Amino acid sequence: MLERYFIRPATIERIRTSWIGALIERYVVWLTEQGYAPRCVLIRVPLLMRFGEFAQESGATIWEELPKYVDPFVNSWLNKRGKDRSKDVSTKVAVRTICGPIHQLLRLIIPGYSGGGRSRKLTDPFMVQAQGFFTYLRSERGLRETTIIQYSHYLCCFEAYLRNINLNSLSELSPAVLSAFITTQCSQVGKRSIQWLCNVLKVFLRYLHRESLIGRDLSLHIESPRRYKHSQIPRSISWDEVRRMLKTVDRRSRVGKRDFVILLLLVTYGLRAREVAALTLDDIDWRRDRLRIPERKSGHSTAYPLLPIIGEAILDYLQNSRPKTSERALFFRAIAPYTPLTYVAVSLRAKHYLRKADIDIQRPGSHTLRHTCVQRLIDAQMSFKTIGDYVGHRSPDATKVYAKVSIETLREVAMGDGEVVV
């Protein structure tokens, strides 16, 4: 495989005779299988060679010892260039560039190695003092993993706050401590997040009291902020702004072909980011011109007519942009490693194009386009039941929020002289 990237026989021989030469060649094979560009191989192999030489000079004799030489190698590299690792932003980028290939190699060759990269699983907080809480959430309350991640996030914030005020035992909790924590969070997040936080704390405190970890039920001292039903206006955009956004997509590029399909699905069918990310090739029925959305949030599946413009965009993406892979997922990363696109990435792509089109909207993202789809159906005077079924609303109340304001009527009032308002 090395002959595919290196021309000189002396270079190939030097790599293979290195004490980690077999590891590097195995890594090159893996990079090729994952679809990495040749320039990535040409940049990473010399770096790994230098790392191997450094580790050997520092006393490494077996592969399993390599992880402990990563940080010393990085520090040595920085010291030779006279850079302060903690201050220079460009230096931090360089450190990530150096560490990335090394950690990737070590994860490939050492079973169980988890160094480097971002952890995709949040560490459960309060594991020492309330180690059974997350088991309780899964087993007794039956919560989804996505909801449990929310619990973990808010309780991590609570744990960090208690650590900052030197409160080491949950038995020392008091209404004053809880009030101070919630007040601190109010200055950092919105009302909806505070409501979430209060609900999480209530469940956590009830569990602590049930397990006799605290002497009284402190959840009774937490009052969530009031959020009135239908108090917010849906964050939709006009159809002219949708056209402006779609024009910013470079449909000649691989990324543009993929993103154009994603945006069309979001704004035409009002799909959620999770539903778009979960689409597979099997969900497209080309013979009947149908698009199937299985396992929606409301608990049912939906079949949409596959509109010509969307069908043509999907076909263009499949033929000219989607990576050649045996996996059935529809959307993939545009660069190696070619893994299926996550729902977070889908929402971020929508946010990217909304900002690129200079559309001023609060909290831009995939849900902006979902709101736009629903608002357009409302303006077409379709019934709430039909709209709710179309976009997969769990409850009619989720649809009725759009009825409190007529966007087009308000625009006419705003553009007129204001003398006649019916």
In a domain, 37, yes or no: yes
- 361 and 217 part of one domain: no
Q: How far apart are CA 89 and CA 364, in angstroms?
A: 28
- 169 and 97 part of one domain: no
In a domain, 45, yes or no: yes
Mean pLDDT value across residues 76-80: 82
Residue 255 has a pLDDT of 95
Residue 65 in this model has a pLDDT that exceeds 60: yes
The domain total for the chain is 3
In a domain, 230, yes or no: no
In a domain, 231, yes or no: no
Residue 324 sits in a domain whose CATH number is: 1.10.443.10
- 406 and 301 part of one domain: yes
Residue 353 has a pLDDT of 96
- 301 and 168 part of one domain: no
- 250 and 351 part of one domain: yes
- 82 and 180 part of one domain: no
- 91 and 176 part of one domain: no
Residue 421 has a pLDDT of 46
Residue 350 in this model has a pLDDT that exceeds 70: yes
Percent above pLDDT 70 for the chain: 86
Report the range of poorest mean pLDDT among 43-52, 138-147, 282-291.
Answer: 138-147
- 61 and 204 part of one domain: no
Per DSSP, 218 falls in state G
- The continuous run of DSSP H or E covering 72 comes out as helix 70-80
Q: How far apart are CA 13 and CA 28, in angstroms?
A: 15
| Total residues found in the chain within this entry | 422
Residue 84 has a pLDDT of 53
Residue range 138-176, pLDDT digits in tens:
999 998 887 898 899 899 999 999 999 999 899 999 999
Report the range of poorest mean pLDDT among 207-211, 224-228, 323-327.
Answer: 224-228
Mean pLDDT value across residues 356-384: 87
In a domain, 228, yes or no: no
Amino acid at 286: W
Residue 337 has a pLDDT of 81
Bridge pairing between strands 284-285 and 290-293: antiparallel
Residue 119 has a pLDDT of 44
- 293 and 323 part of one domain: yes
- CA nearest to 391, candidates 378, 408, 381, 404: 378
Note down the domain range covering 189. 133-221
In a domain, 234, yes or no: no
Residue 305 has a pLDDT of 94
Residue range 396-421, pLDDT digits in tens:
666 666 655 555 555 555 666 555 54
* Cis status, amide bond into 38, omega within 30 of 0: no
Average pLDDT for the chain: 85
- 337 and 194 part of one domain: no
pTM more than 0.85: no
Confidence of residue 388 (pLDDT cuts 50, 70, 90): confident
- CA nearest to 188, candidates 207, 160, 163: 160
- Hey, which residues are catalytic here? 272, 297, 367, 370, 393, 402
Beta bridge pairs of residue 302: 293
- CA nearest to 211, candidates 159, 140, 122, 162: 140
Residue 202 has a pLDDT of 95
In a domain, 245, yes or no: yes
- CA nearest to 341, candidates 280, 293, 295: 280
- CA nearest to 366, candidates 397, 341, 386: 341
Residue 382 has a pLDDT of 81
Q: Answer yes or no: are the C-beta atoms of 17 and 53 closer than 8 Å.
A: no
Q: How far apart are CA 143 and CA 281, in angstroms?
A: 30
The larger pLDDT score, comparing residue 123 to residue 101, is at 101
Residue 354 has a pLDDT of 95
- 184 and 305 part of one domain: no
Percent above pLDDT 90 for the chain: 51
Confidence of residue 233 (pLDDT cuts 50, 70, 90): low
Residue 229 has a pLDDT of 58
The distance of Cα 393 from the centroid of its chain, to the nearest Å, equals 23
In a domain, 302, yes or no: yes
Q: How far apart are CA 94 and CA 81, in angstroms?
A: 12
Residue 185 sits in a domain whose CATH number is: 1.10.150
- 82 and 156 part of one domain: no
